[in-house]
Structure 1
Amino acid sequence: MTDILCGEDPEPSDRSPAGPLFVPVRPGPSGCAVRLFRTPLGDRTAVGFTSVRRLTATLGPGQPWIRLAEPALRTLAAPLGATTVTVDPPLSAPAPAPVEPTAPTLAPQFG
């Protein structure tokens, strides 16, 4: 079998740890829990950012976070069904727009 050279492969064959990541968490009664997200195809994924600036640009300044090494993040997320780690994901949803309350409208009555 021929080894694939990483220079020719669009995705290298060997995964290398991403290093310490800034991982979004949510506080709970027993401490912090890692937040899981969904990929565009609907699969669960753990998310880590390479800087606080990237985390806050994507999730906002109020998002709590902890520092975790990539292997530790994988270990925490695997029992929850997240087998991938996404590093520095872009925001993929449009920003929510404020909704102004409107007066209720009545459906036309036929009969």
Structure 2
Amino acid sequence: MCLFQFDDDPEPEEPAPAGLLYVPVRPGTHAVAVRVFHTPPGSRTTVGLTTVERPAATLGAEQSWICLPESVLRSLAEPLGVEPLTVDPTLTAPAVTGPGASAGSLRAGSAVRDVGHAARTA
């Protein structure tokens, strides 16, 4: 816990909670599943976006999303062993679909790549 907080501190010791996030999801049979992505170094991460326009701008117009508090998103990802949360990624790439497949072009929009793992939400 940070003992001191200064209004003019550009990088506080501990980041403030992100609040409500627009979270990319995949449709399921009875519920939706939170999408899990890869960072450029290869670790798995969940993604939260801070405005309603960002899911389409970052991941495409067809991307479904739900609104979740940061704490709930972290709770859903924890059982999957996914600890990092990327808020407002700046670059994305489509998922690689098979051996030797090209990752395609990057979309402007910290970089992430979809890995197809998901945490279910009710």
Could you say which residue in structure 2 is the equivalent of 1:80?
A: 80
Q: For structure 1, which runs of at least 5 residues remain unmatched after alignment?
A: 97-111
**5 Å matches for 1:28-107?**
28-93=28-93, 94=105
**Number of residue pairs aligned between Structure 1 and Structure 2:** 92
Identical residues among aligned pairs (%):
51
**Aligned residue for 2:22?**
22
Tell me the SS of whatever aligns to 1:13: coil
Q: CA RMSD in A?
A: 2.1
Normalized against structure 2, the TM-score is what? 0.66
Alpha-carbon shift at residue 21 of structure 1 (Å): 0.5
Rate the CA distance shift 1:43–1:4 in 2: closer, same or farther, 3 A: farther
Amino acid at match of 1:21: L
Question: How big is the shift at 1:66?
Answer: 0.3
- Which structure shows the higher strand fraction? 2
Q: Give the superposition deviation at 1:14.
A: 1.6
Residue deviations 1:55-75 (CA, integer Å, cap 9, x gap): 111101110100000011000
In the alignment, the residues of structure 1 paired with residue 15 and residue 58 of structure 2 have an alpha-carbon distance, to the nearest angstrom, of: 25
Q: What's the TM-score, normalizing by structure 1?
A: 0.72
Larger radius of gyration: 1
Deviations 1:48-106 (A, max 9, x none): 1011211111101110100000011000011112101110002233159xxxxxxxxxx
Q: Is the 8 A contact 2:92 2:106 kept in 1?
A: no
Q: Is the 8 A contact 2:22 2:65 kept in 1?
A: yes
Higher RCO (Cα < 8 Å, 6 or more apart): 2
Deviations 1:19-39 (A, max 9, x none): 101000001113001000011
